[in-house]
Amino acid sequence: MPGTNLTREEAQQRAELLTVDSYEIDLDLSGAQDGGTARSSEAGSGGGTYRSVTTVRFDVARGGESFIDLVAPTVHEVTLNGDALDPAEVFADSRIALPGLLEGRNVLRVVADCAYTNTGEGLHRFVDPVDEQAYLYTQFEVPDARRVFASFEQPDLKATFRFTVKAPEGWTVISNSPTPEPKDNVWAFEPTPRISTYITAIIAGPYHSVHSVYEKDGQSVPLGIYCRPSLAEFLDSDAIFEVTRQGFDWFQEKFDYKYPFAKYDQLFVPEFNAGAMENAGAVTIRDQYVFRSKVTDAAYEMRAETILHELAHMWFGDLVTMEWWNDLWLNESFATYTSIACQAAAPGSRWPHSWTTFANSMKTWAYRQDQLPSTHPIMADIRDLDDVLVNFDGITYAKGASVLKQLVAYVGEDEFFQGVQAYFKRHAFGNTRLSDLLGALEETSGRDLKTWSKKWLETAGINILRPEVATDADGVLTSFAVRQEAPALPAGAQGEPVLRPHRIAIGCYDRDPASGKLVRTERVELDVDGELTAVPQLTGKRRPAVILLNDDDLSYAKVRLDEQSLAFVTEHLGDFTESLPRALCWASAWDMTRDGELAARDYLSLVLSGIGKESDIGVVQSLHRQVKLAVDLYADPTARESLLTRWTDATLAHLRAAEAASDHQLAWARAFAATARTPEQLDLLEGLLEGTHTVEGLAVDTELRWAFVERLAAVGRFDEAEIAAEYERDRTAAGERHAATARAARPTPEAKAEAWASVVDSDKLPNAVQEAVIGGFVQTDQRELLAPFTDTYFEILKGVWDSRSHEIAQQIAIGLYPTVQVSEETLAKTDTWLAAAEPNAALRRLVSESRAGVERALRAQAADAAAGK
């Protein structure tokens, strides 16, 4: 039985048989405010059901049989070409069998009760504790349109969609087509263009909205921004519209294709699992991006990137869609690359240094992913839906975008975008494969990209680039070369290591005598291929203080500094005048730490020596996270407490020294709160909460208060009374999540047992609250308290995976894995479970990835211990 899975072969067979013309979908959501038209254990954890009526018109190439997908508690009617089929006979295992299909036009009508969810899949229902109103939104990627209407759930069976929705009085309903005037609370939308099922959308509720328009050269596109009324006071719509307009200008110029839909709405919705979703003309975005409290500019930069990423998807993904999920990168890598490029180059952008952020955060994610046993080619082998559900990873997004950045350098930016323009015009509203895009790029660039594609898109793993430097007694370079290595792939990974062609720049940096800053004195750009590439351009020149491979971050590779450059950078990393070379050096140092080439204690020293001079707030916050991870997991356990003390003392010193009301001050306040440990430090947190102590310029607002409360709960200073009192100050959905985190963080067996039971033994928690509980449950300084749950994790994991929805089960599988129990015993227990439980490929992948983290931590701890001898 297939369950809710779908194989690539089944999808191919269905696509060969069927051509879908149109869907007409009628949804009765009139009971949504009260939870739906029914309540039962079958109705889904969201509570209640709603009536869904789907009429599909499709053509069949030849007579035969097929199936349509539907996940629903009850199917009342199935009518195929006027003949009633018995639902008890044809509906099973999330599929409706379609026997006796006619050659030519067929018409199917399905009447079902579908279930609201609280998992962020299908039609999610949320009740705002502020106004006690219900808010709905759909999330369909990858295979969840079938939770709302009967659908041929695969991306290459595009069709038009006409939604008709009955909603409660006073609600607004938004979909892919422009919002009509309702009649008797019924919203009848015009049909969409031909799009895939997974980018259709319905958002409904008493949402607050702000409207504008994008106008240029006779083009007029209505723009809308939506959020819950309880967040309306925080909605900075002008800033969001500004970024959106910049994206419209830049993308339409680069793509030479007008925005392809009738309007563009952005909807900030609650309890969203991802960052955002590219529904055509109706993008849903997690409403944490409506900032209730002061945040650093890095948060605004991240939000802007998300906005631009989803806007880019209107072309990459919605206008032109991959044929099957193995080309998911055609959507995600391109959206990621173009969103960062837009931030860096669009006139008026606040973030011209966005490639610095990319190098320090997204590429770090990619490097980590590419060294796991689950590493895979950018163009992955997706056998079924289970495979793709766990493939929204650092390779698909960040490595793919890195490779595209290099491809642009390789073929030329103008030629690259000319190829993209031809691709859109040729395949508008259709489906494509990798060969379609490469063919267009080959035409415009004149380059043969087959070898490039084979090595970069169709193989897994990462290369290391090292400089080989020789100088004479006077410090003059007598030779310089770049050595490329292809490390063995992790155990369990498929494929062989490959040396690849790289387009890189080499930067030479020296101290400016006047300012003392590190400035670039020379740049050489070249192709690196094979094991050793000589760089004669540098021979005969005086050796600079720092030689930086992959300067400007053109390629995707782990980079090492030569011994002299590393020694200089260790003392002067903060002295680079530009943010990108600093970020590349920070990233190299972090990668060396993860690889056990740089001891955790030495990484801490490096960060402390240079972070005070780091101006890029995004880099500063990345360093905060990385230092804490290094000390918590990569340091010799016998040295951990002293390193944490050293780090916490430094965070407090930086907090006190930071400019009043600056982003750096806020970042250091959060870093301090994350590890405050001594009685005096905890007294300070309490004093800041109570107002008996102040730091000039530091606004202890709602979100910062919760950061303090959560830490005080984790160390046992605060218990239920204090947590409840804070929740009374912030009786919102966000407050509920923070309170759940704080309760789960308390260092008592009772609190841990209660948190565990609420997640594992019950399925009542909404996705966002469950995530918050797991986040509080796992505290790195509570290892002994958490140790007894290791065996329990492996006992319950298979049952949870088989009985919960994908999003909920994945949260548990990843979040509750005993990551903080860094020991050979944890590895052995994991191996025993993997051998005995026979998990499916998706669950095996998640557990194997977590195991790899423990294995890496053990190696790093050994390296740190050796450095301490």
Give the Cα separation of 551 and 607 in Å (integer): 21
Give the Cα separation of 25 and 54 in Å (integer): 5
- Bridge partners of 389, per DSSP, are none
Give the Cα separation of 477 and 540 in Å (integer): 5
Max Cα separation, the chain? 92
Whether the Cβ atoms of residue 290 and residue 227 lie closer than 8 Å to each other: yes
Give residue for tokens 């490959």. 498
Give the Cα separation of 333 and 336 in Å (integer): 5
Determine which helix (DSSP H) or strand (DSSP E) holds 310, and give its type and residue range.
helix 297-313
- Bridge partners of 7, per DSSP, are 384
Dihedral angle sign, alpha carbons of residues 331, 332, 337, 341: positive
Length in residues, the chain: 869
- As a whole number of Å, the CA-based R_g of the chain is 28
Q: What is the dihedral of CA 446, 449, 452, 456, to 10 degrees?
A: 120
CA atoms within 13 A on the CB side of 813: 28
Dihedral angle sign, alpha carbons of residues 353, 357, 358, 363: positive
- Grouping H, G, I as helix, E, B as strand and the rest as coil, residue 124 is strand
End-to-end C-alpha distance for the chain, whole angstroms: 58
Give the Cα separation of 820 and 816 in Å (integer): 10
Give the Cα separation of 441 and 418 in Å (integer): 8
Q: Is 310 a catalytic residue?
A: yes
Number of H helices, E strands in the chain: 29, 28
Give the Cα separation of 256 and 250 in Å (integer): 10
Amino acid letter at 271?
E
CB atoms within 10 A of CB 750: 8
Give the Cα separation of 149 and 151 in Å (integer): 6
Phi, psi of 75, rounded to the nearest 5 degrees: -115, 125
Whether the Cβ atoms of residue 133 and residue 169 lie closer than 8 Å to each other: no
CA angle 274, 352, 281 (to 5 degrees): 40
Residues contacting residue 128 through CB under 8 Å, at least 6 positions apart: 135, 228, 230, 270, 732, 733
Amino acid letter at 507?
G
Amino acid letter at 604?
L
CA angle 289, 351, 336 (to 5 degrees): 70
Q: DSSP secondary-structure letter at 539?
A: T
Give the Cα separation of 862 and 145 in Å (integer): 49
Tokens of residue 323, six digits: 């044929």
- Grouping H, G, I as helix, E, B as strand and the rest as coil, residue 114 is strand
- Bridge partners of 22, per DSSP, are 57, 160
Give the Cα separation of 115 and 44 in Å (integer): 5
Catalytic residue among 310, 415, 442, 771: 310
CB atoms within 10 A of CB 867: 16
Query: 460-486 as b/e, with b when 16 or more CB fall inside 10 Å?
Result: bbbbebbbebeeeeeeebeebbbbbeb
Report, as residue numbers or ranges, the catalytic residues. Answer: 310
